[in-house]
Structure 1
Amino acid sequence: MIQMLVTGPKPESVAGRRSIAVLVVILTGQFMTVLDGSIVNVAIAAIRSDLDTGGAALQLIVAGYVIAYAVLLIGGARLGDRFTQRRTFIAGLAAFTLASLACGLAWNEFSLIVFRFGQGVGAAALAPQVMTLIQRTFTGAARARALSIYAAIVSGGLLAGQILGGLIVDADLGGTGWRGVFLVNVPIGIALLMLAPRVLPVTVARTDRTVDGLGLATLTSTVLLLVVPLVLGRELGFPLWSWLCLGAGALGLAVFVLVERAVTRRGRDPLFAPRVLRAPGLLATAVTLLMVMGTFGGWLFVSALHMQSDLGYSALRAGVQFLPMGVTFAAAGLCWQRIPAVAHARMIPFGLVLSAASLGWLAWLSSAGAGIGAAASTAFALFGLGNGLAFSPLMTRALAAVPVTLAADASGLLTTSVQLGTVVGIASIGSVFFELMGTTASSAADAVAVAQLICAGTALVAAASAALAVRRMH
């Protein structure tokens, strides 16, 4: 028992119906958290009209969920080790479901923002347990397949969010309008809360692990100092405090490193265990995923708003336009293992270069004032294909080098990169779009084209970072 507490629980071998049941429960929970990050995109026009919401508040409604989600993920991963992944998953699911109900009943923009943060807190407790449970429950080829399904769930949630959000808003069931995009989580959450205690594997709580409160507070403050000025600064004219916050946030990163080193010297658990940070290519992978999701999050936010506000598309039509992207992302994420292994290392940066090229093509189409026709749909599909060829293979290769006993720390690091990238992308790309968007169709077309070009440039940098990550894994 002492040895188990020190090294952590061994992987539990599951098979047949048991393994399917575990995946269904944890990936449905993951699906809900991803869905909630994207389903609001196609409802923002309705929210703006109903609650008379400004641009900054809209960004907080979309990004506030991801802000809380991102900054608390590491703590959520550590809590999973301390109190078991099973208990933490269920607690996070309960909090997420309750906050979703509150969002659906929100009475003004402030209450909606607050409840969105509450959803993020629940998601931060739930989501890191998913990847950790996969790491600890499956081994070898079964783990690779489970991670590929995980990637498909990520893309499926994003795609379903766009389409389901459009259906819900347009259907206006019971006069709920945009509120339905939050209320849809409630019955799903209740069903999962009934199943999870019966299905999820039981592991031993690691009483040797603690939550680094000082490190968590430093990281949370740093992220908020960096993100809040990006979200609110444009609408307020970038006042002095916004620049001071950005400077303090940059300084906070250095302070966080010093805090973590001090925690390690005292023999306590830092948020990022040194052995995890030294895993081959893991840090470079985290940086790459941050840029990939920053590109994706910013592009998705701007595109959804542009289609509804500037092109006059309905919420449903705007959601359906993302279908080619979601399908190709999911297909690539599920089928990449069929590509010869010798090509995997080159496939990852190639996929991100393909994404950058498709975004450049979209920028050219947008600058010409074109709607979403066959050419743009093809570019959407190539964008999804490129990201699919990079996302799941890169994550799978990085996690293969991490011991199972450190699965929670690695999961927390990578999922934090994914979510933090999303919120930074929404804040920064969204701010550029709102700054350039005028009152004419031509100015709106130019604004979305510039935003897409910035995304294309970021994707190219991500390709270089991915090449470095892959090289360090050898």
Structure 2
Amino acid sequence: MTAPTTGEAVGAADPYPPLAAPPTGRARWFVLAVGLTCTFLVVGGVSIANLAMPSLQATLHVGFGAVQFVVAGYGLVYAVFLITGGRLGDVMGRRRVLLAGLVLFTVAVLVSGLAPDAPVLIGARLVQGFGAALIYPQILSIIQDTFEGAERNFALGLFGATIGVAIVVGQLVGGALIQLNLAGLAWRPAFLVLVPLGTAALLTGRRVMARDEPAGRPHIDLAGTGLLGAALLLLVLPLLIGPGVGWAWWTWVMFAAAVPGFALFIRYEQRLDRTGRTPLLRPSLFRQRAFGVGIAIGVLYFITIVGLAVYTSLTFQVGLGLDPLQAGLAFAPVGIAFFASSLVVPRLVPRLGRSVLVLGHVLLLGGLIAAWATVHGAGSGLSAVELALPLLLIGTAQGLTMSPLIGVVLTGIRPSDKGSASGALTTAFQIGQALGVAGIGTVFSVLGARPGAATASSRYQVAYQSALLLMAALTLVSFVLVYALPNPHDSRPHHHFLWVRHGRRTGLAHAFYLLTGGHAVGRRLSHWFHHHEGKH
């Protein structure tokens, strides 16, 4: 969940001791139900909002940048506070922090669904992202502490399946609720549907989850969190609102201020590291090539796949005239192919090593180019059915790339640093998602407003083609960077650690968890890697 605290002996006792009195009998299955519900809330809460953008803009009468902020703001706050949320679980106890996060998340979702205007909605989404950052880092440890043996493997298999289902089903549920327009509420039910789920999880969790004792008092880098958040805001906010205000001078000032903002963050983290405290990000990790390359690949890759999800859905609705449910169904091939190919990955990584990432990038690049060629060739006669094959290709590529990415990157990291690196990598991936909404959205917004295109349909298709080309270019850069990663093509266990350590099904659950922001395995990884490195 977090990096090892400075001075902690690698190879010492597990920093997450078992619960003093873990639930027994039926109670432990209710604990699992709470964990799976929380997983659906956090992961599904992202995809549900994707399809609401046209409805939000129409009913709140706001610009495109404001509705982008509704989507990106959640992801940005979630990314910035993930490591802090994990460390709060260490200091205050995982049960307490998870329940507190559920309160914030559920109240924020309720406010989102009732929001009278865009500022209230954006503020509620920011709080929702903070609540998610408190919830998600705790889930895996709670499941592991509650179950043992075959039951634990079964529970972790359900956990991984829930993540995959939330990615696919969240968008369909959101689309259906928006399309039904219940009581004339338009997009609001897509948020309000999460309120009873959050309330049920909160009430059940208070009753069945065992209290846990804090495992220590690690340093919580609140100043570093604030500096990183401020620097990211200076970068992302102008991307969201710049096109709508004609790139006013102050947007360029914010861009310029982001550079010293990031420099100040790095310098502060270096000082913490030198003084023996635990920084949010250890700058010394960048001296290891695999870490810097892995960060770059992860950010580029997540910019692409999130940008694709958000703006393909938007193009389906505004550019092709589909209703929200139809748009969700039209994009479903990506989620289905992603889930199916992810199940195959555990068999491929031990045999192919880094080549799995190469294959995934080739398929993604091919799918993006095929999608561009389809849109370009069809012109005004484009239909969503014509994009089904490219989207299947893209979904397959995502499954082949996303789940093994962290394992391959960590191959080149020193054993004592793997826990810290895993936390930093997952945070970077979530930041990439927020940048995907903002960065790809900037291109989409500028070209979508192109005066030479006569209709909304043609404007959006022009913008979508340009966005596809930009995403293809980012994928090409990421593809080249893959060759700078270590090639884990041998029998050493840490080269495909998730599947060796946990088995294929539960290893996939750990991979999904890390990719969606989980840090619970971070310090355990340090101990496990150190133990196995000593044997080889």
Task: Settle same-fold status: TM greater than 0.5.
Answer: yes
User: Are 2:80 and 1:71 equivalent residues in the alignment?
Assistant: yes
Shift of 1:290: 2.0
User: Are 2:478 and 1:462 equivalent residues in the alignment?
Assistant: yes
Shift of 1:252: 2.1
Distance in structure 2 (CA, Å) of the matches to 1:15 and 1:404: 35
Aligned to 2:405: 394
Moved more, 238-247 or 369-378: 369-378
Greater CA radius of gyration, 1 or 2? 2
Moved more, 209-218 or 12-21: 12-21
CA deviations on 1:61-88 (whole Å, 9 max, x unpaired) are: 1212112212222221221222233322
Q: Which runs of 5+ in 1 are unaligned?
A: none
CA deviations on 1:160-216 (whole Å, 9 max, x unpaired) are: 222111110111233332100111111111121133345656554133302112211
Distance 1:191 1:169, change over 3 A: same
Q: Determine which of 339, 347, 359 is the counterpart of 2:356.
A: 347
Aligned to 2:463: 447
CA deviations on 1:108-156 (whole Å, 9 max, x unpaired) are: 1111111111111111111223355578889999999988866654443
Distance in structure 2 (CA, Å) of the matches to 1:386 and 1:450: 21
User: Are 2:282 and 1:266 equivalent residues in the alignment?
Assistant: no
Instruction: Output the TM-score relative to the length of structure 1.
Output: 0.88
Aligned to 1:421: 432
Aligned to 1:230: 239
Moved more, 293-302 or 422-431: 293-302
Partner of 1:391, secondary structure, is: helix
Alignment of 1:215-294 (within 5 A): 215-273=224-282, 281-294=290-303
CA deviations on 1:12-47 (whole Å, 9 max, x unpaired) are: 899998887665433431221221212122122111
Distance 1:260 1:16, change over 3 A: farther
Distance 1:274 1:62, change over 3 A: closer
Q: Determine which of 87, 103, 116 is the counterpart of 1:94.
A: 103
Given residue 205 of structure 2, which amino acid in structure 1 is its aligned partner? Answer: A
Distance in structure 2 (CA, Å) of the matches to 1:403 and 1:141: 31
> Does the Cα contact within 8 Å between 2:319 and 2:459 map onto a contact in 1?
no
Distance 1:446 1:392, change over 3 A: same
User: Are 2:170 and 1:170 equivalent residues in the alignment?
Assistant: no
Partner of 1:267, secondary structure, is: coil
When the two chains are superposed, the root-mean-square deviation of aligned CA atoms in Å is 3.6
Distance in structure 1 (CA, Å) of the matches to 2:166 and 2:77: 19
> Does the Cα contact within 8 Å between 2:69 and 2:240 map onto a contact in 1?
yes
Quote the sequence identity (%). Answer: 34
User: Are 2:440 and 1:432 equivalent residues in the alignment?
Assistant: no
Partner of 2:214, secondary structure, is: coil
Aligned to 1:471: 487
> Does the Cα contact within 8 Å between 2:270 and 2:282 map onto a contact in 1?
no
Given residue 306 of structure 1, which amino acid in structure 2 is its aligned partner? Answer: T
Distance in structure 2 (CA, Å) of the matches to 1:23 and 1:287: 35
CA deviations on 1:289-340 (whole Å, 9 max, x unpaired) are: 2222211111122111111112111111001011111111111223321336
Distance in structure 2 (CA, Å) of the matches to 1:377 and 1:424: 26
Distance 1:339 1:21, change over 3 A: farther
Distance 1:345 1:249, change over 3 A: same
Shift of 1:5: 10
> Does the Cα contact within 8 Å between 2:369 and 2:472 map onto a contact in 1?
yes
Partner of 2:354, secondary structure, is: helix
Distance 1:329 1:19, change over 3 A: farther
> Does the Cα contact within 8 Å between 1:67 and 1:423 map onto a contact in 2?
yes
Instruction: Output the TM-score relative to the length of structure 2.
Output: 0.78
Given residue 354 of structure 1, which amino acid in structure 2 is its aligned partner? Answer: L
Distance 1:5 1:275, change over 3 A: farther
Alignment of 1:41-440 (within 5 A): 41-130=50-139, 153-197=162-206, 203-273=212-282, 281-339=290-348, 341-368=350-377, 369=379, 370-397=381-408, 409=420, 412-437=423-448, 438=450, 439-440=454-455
Given residue 195 of structure 2, which amino acid in structure 1 is its aligned partner? Answer: V
Aligned to 2:16: 9
Distance in structure 1 (CA, Å) of the matches to 2:300 and 2:18: 31
Given residue 103 of structure 1, which amino acid in structure 2 is its aligned partner? Answer: S
Distance 1:227 1:176, change over 3 A: same
Distance in structure 1 (CA, Å) of the matches to 2:477 and 2:417: 29
> Does the Cα contact within 8 Å between 2:270 and 2:283 map onto a contact in 1?
no
Moved more, 19-28 or 152-161: 19-28
Given residue 404 of structure 2, which amino acid in structure 1 is its aligned partner? Answer: P
Moved more, 26-35 or 299-308: 26-35
Distance in structure 2 (CA, Å) of the matches to 1:14 and 1:79: 22
Partner of 1:98, secondary structure, is: helix
Distance 1:442 1:175, change over 3 A: closer
> Does the Cα contact within 8 Å between 2:411 and 2:486 map onto a contact in 1?
no
Partner of 1:208, secondary structure, is: coil
> Does the Cα contact within 8 Å between 1:77 and 1:408 map onto a contact in 2?
no
Given residue 115 of structure 2, which amino acid in structure 1 is its aligned partner? Answer: A
Given residue 15 of structure 2, which amino acid in structure 1 is its aligned partner? Answer: G
Shift of 1:260: 0.7
Distance in structure 2 (CA, Å) of the matches to 1:408 and 1:175: 49
> Does the Cα contact within 8 Å between 1:289 and 1:421 map onto a contact in 2?
yes
Distance 1:283 1:132, change over 3 A: farther
Given residue 359 of structure 1, which amino acid in structure 2 is its aligned partner? Answer: L
> Does the Cα contact within 8 Å between 1:152 and 1:333 map onto a contact in 2?
no
CA deviations on 1:359-403 (whole Å, 9 max, x unpaired) are: 111111112325344441011111111011111122345568999
Aligned to 2:40: 31
Distance in structure 1 (CA, Å) of the matches to 2:385 and 2:299: 30
Distance in structure 1 (CA, Å) of the matches to 2:308 and 2:225: 29
Q: Give aligned pairs, total.
A: 473
Shift of 1:459: 1.9
Distance 1:16 1:454, change over 3 A: farther
Given residue 125 of structure 2, which amino acid in structure 1 is its aligned partner? Answer: R
Distance in structure 2 (CA, Å) of the matches to 1:339 and 1:350: 11
Distance in structure 2 (CA, Å) of the matches to 1:261 and 1:54: 40
Shift of 1:421: 0.8
Distance in structure 2 (CA, Å) of the matches to 1:221 and 1:198: 38
